[in-house]
Amino acid sequence: MTTTLDNIRFPSKREAERYALLKLRERIGEIANLELQPLYKVVVDGEHICDVRMDFRYIDRARNCVVVEDAKGRDNPLSRLKRKLVEAIYKVKVELT
């Protein structure tokens, strides 16, 4: 079931709620540069394998780092694989929320 918030259609209520919280954190200055659905290209040995979209990316000012989030109500093998690919290729830690 999709949920619409700020004229943005989210695939789940969980993702919409997380977006609302992140927007609030951005408004009060805890985070900056909130991005929705950042795209990561998975390329191995010069061959494009697939594109992976995470749910959110932003700068956490307290931790002084870029945070990549995957909002999941129910995790599955495919989403775990996608997170591992992004982590391995882009050297980031994807946080499951």
| Residue tagged 């495919």 (tokens) | 78
DSSP percent split of the chain into helix, strand, coil, nearest 5: 30, 40, 30
Question: Which secondary-structure segment (H or E) carries 79?
Answer: helix 77-90
Question: For 6-38, what is each residue's pLDDT tens digit?
Answer: 999 999 899 999 999 999 999 999 999 999 999
For residue 37, the model assigns a pLDDT of 96
For residue 2, the model assigns a pLDDT of 87
pLDDT confidence tier of residue 1, bands split at 50, 70 and 90: confident
Q: How many CB atoms lie within 10 A of CB 87?
A: 14
* pTM value surpassing 0.85: yes
Domain residue spans of the chain: 3-96
Distance separating alpha carbons of residues 32 and 46, to the nearest angstrom: 33
Question: For 32-76, what is each residue's pLDDT tens digit?
Answer: 999 999 999 999 999 999 999 999 999 999 999 999 999 987 889
